[in-house]
Amino acid sequence: MKRVLSTIAVLLIVTVFIAALYAMPKRISLSLTGVEYQLGHDRTEVHPISLVIRGRLHGAWTGQRTFVGTISIQGAHMPNPDNKHLLVIHFRPDGSGPMIYGYFRSGKPVTRAYGTMFASNNFNSFTIEEFSSHGRITGWNSRNGFMISAPAKTRVQALRISNLLMKNVLHGSRLH
């Protein structure tokens, strides 16, 4: 009986230790080069960009990941004027996480969506669907939407990253 209780105690301690390690926020401090490009068969132009990501990646028992920090994108066709503000990204089970900035300007609340991020588990590769505005409508589409992918130097590398990270939302389709 003592042996069973000792085994259960050891297993419980190991489980709690592993859970604590998983739930502990991981510091993210990356400087990456990538490309911004527009989807579509007739689109070939790419813009080199640099990204600086600083923050913490939090895990949960449920598997949901949350990033809290800043993401600065330099050289993008569609600049992000909010990149100095704190960003909280709650990644969904499909791997997507909306990049929504919320802050105050002149005492008034401001909320602005930049796009949707898909990141690898260790955050060493990611892709962003950049939202564009057309009048009062803001959004993205897979026919001719703008993307940022890193690390990448070419459109082929960027598309490979995007298709891999977005496979759960593309449902068998591929970006071109």
Quote the pLDDT of residue 132.
82
∠ CA(19), CA(22), CA(27), 5° rounding?
A: 150
| pLDDT of residue 44 exceeding 60 | yes
Where along the chain do its domains lie? 24-170
pLDDT in tens, 158-169: 999 999 999 999
User: What's the mean pLDDT when you consider all of the chain?
Assistant: 87
Cβ-count burial of 60 within 10 angstroms (0-12 exposed, 13-18 middle, 19+ buried)? Answer: exposed
If DSSP states are collapsed to H, E and C, what string results for 94-152? CCEEEEEEEEEECCEEEEEEEEEEEECCCCCCEEEEECEEECCEEECCCCCCEEEEECC
| pLDDT of residue 34 exceeding 90 | yes
Cβ-count burial of 126 within 10 angstroms (0-12 exposed, 13-18 middle, 19+ buried)? Answer: buried
pLDDT in tens, 131-153: 986 555 568 888 889 999 999 99
CA distance 44 to 78: 17
Q: What's the average model confidence in pLDDT over 87-93?
A: 94
Quote the pLDDT of residue 136.
59
Quote the pLDDT of residue 32.
94
> Peptide bond preceding 151: is omega within 30 degrees of 0, i.e. cis?
yes
Query: pLDDT band at 81, cuts 50/70/90?
Result: confident
* Ranges 62-66, 78-82, 83-87, 91-95: which has the least confidence: 78-82
Evaluate whether 76 touches 47 at the Cβ level (below 8 Å): yes
Closest C-alpha among 60, 58, 82, 57 to residue 72: 82
